Amino acid sequence: MTQLQSLRGMVDLLPKALQRWQVVEAIARTHFQHSGFKEIRTPLMETTDLFCRGIGESTDVVGKEMYTFQDRGNRSCTLRPEGTASVVRAALQHGLISQGTQKLWYGGPMFRYERPQAGRQRQFHQIGVEWLGAASARTDVEVIALAWDLLTSLGVSDLELELNSLGSIEDRHLYRCALVAWLKQQSDQLDKDSRMRLLTNPLRILDSKDKTTRALLEEAPTLGDYLNSESRTRFSVVQRGLITLGIPFRLNPRLVRGLDYYCHTAFEITSKQLGAQATVCGGGRYDHLVSQLGGAETPAIGWALGMERLLLILEETSKANPDGRASRLITATKPDAYVVNCGERAAEPALVLARALRMQGLTVELDSSGATFSKQFKRADRCGARFALILGDKEVDRGQIQIKPLRVEGDEVIRSINAISAIVDILQNR
């Protein structure tokens, strides 16, 4: 019989890796709470129309990458390829926006049918924030600072913030006309994908990965030349705010986001830790998405970071600096104690002891194999436990437990098996 395996691009998260994920998620949750963002959880599956209207039918995501199918009710459904549209839909459906500004964060799996590679799978995971009702340029600065501070606190190194303004709808219309006119004159030098985008989504050509096209674009008109005075002023305020906070940035006039709903501030935070420049976090302002989905005009800004890529970067950072914060964060938690027990009469007292210590907040592994002491000691050493708690029939008869240091200095000591507070004191304070 053929062994069943996961689908290509759908990766299992095994316990060792998942411990690292949980550490990152816990730190992110703390940052969000400190900034007043509250968690929201939306379904993995939505009506296809949500993403067509929200993301844009001419985008690669909608046109090429979505997992879309008809359900038994003959409705077109899609596994969510990103989080923003779902959050906005939920906020509209449940009347959150009518209650005032909403600061929301989310996390979970997204789905895109694209070629799997390191840090990018067909089922991938994001953590993101959405600030609905945020109108001022200062909120742009605050949201970017939240992302920067989170990544810094995780120990991610070689960070670079790239910044651009996509302007207003009117600004982009003028620029689009100028860009299309210029690109048509150079169309024979464009790569195949860019020639197709010239008819559907020309701004996405600016994000081309083709070397020839990228070199050609060095001479293309830039969006900054078509920003009106209000857009220029807004972008200046954002830059001044980042300078005030001491967050370095680089202006990138070619930076566009892959989804149609963005306007004004767009940004990406990248790291060179994987060798090539890799985007860790990206986002921007989307003042018209709420109205596109049936709500009132509502300014908004948000970002998302990819967990798979972030964890790869943390691993590389850890290798480069074994004593750094990233290394400490992603190192698997070791048990405080390993209960080595042998003999029929030791089994139940060992179970009671392990439970009592766990109730005191300690991490305790209980060996239930019935193997010899020597084999159990090898397992205790292999799992990295700080102490071995030794309990055999002889210790049961005496009502005692032996406490043997494995990873800390000190001599072996003996305590009453019922003296839980004394045992806890040794395990916590040595």
Going by C-alpha positions, the residue among 280, 258, 320 that lies closest to residue 161 is: 280
For residue 272, what pLDDT band results from cuts at 50, 70 and 90? confident
What lies within 8 Å, CB to CB, of 43 at 6+ separation is 80, 86
What lies within 8 Å, CB to CB, of 427 at 6+ separation is 336, 337, 357, 362, 386, 387, 403
In angstroms, rounded to a whole number, what is the distance separating the alpha carbons of residues 238 and 250? 13
More confident residue, 212 or 240: 240
- Give the range among 8-12, 181-185, 197-201 with minimum mean pLDDT: 197-201
Would the CATH topology of 15-168+228-328 be identical to that of 337-429?
Answer: no
Q: Which H or E run includes 303?
A: strand 300-306
Note the pLDDT tens digit of each residue in 297-348. 999 999 999 999 999 999 888 888 888 888 888 887 889 999 999 988 999 9
State in words which class domain 337-429 has: alpha beta
For residue 275, what pLDDT band results from cuts at 50, 70 and 90? low
Contact by Cβ (8 Å): 242, 161: yes
What is the CATH code for 15-168+228-328? Answer: 3.30.930.10
Measured CA to CA in angstroms, residue 254 lies from 204, 218, 227 at distances of: 10, 9, 14
What lies within 8 Å, CB to CB, of 353 at 6+ separation is 339, 389, 391, 401, 417, 420, 423
Q: 182 pLDDT exceeds 70?
A: yes
If you write DSSP's letter for every residue of 51-76 in order, what string do you get?
Answer: HHHHT-TTSHIIIII-EEEE-TTS-E
Please, what is the Cα angle at 96 between 95 and 99, to 5 degrees?
Answer: 100
Q: 349 pLDDT exceeds 70?
A: yes
More confident residue, 327 or 86: 86
Contact by Cβ (8 Å): 161, 248: yes
Q: pLDDT at position 427, please?
A: 93
Cα first-last separation, the chain: 53
Q: pLDDT at position 277, please?
A: 62
Contact by Cβ (8 Å): 155, 314: yes
Q: Give this prediction's pTM.
A: 0.87
Q: Residue 133 gets which letter from DSSP? A: T
CB-based burial, 300-322: b 16+ in 10 Å, e otherwise? bbbbbbbbbbbbbbbbbbbeeee
Domain residue limits, the chain:
15-168+228-328, 337-429
Average pLDDT on 186-215 reads 78
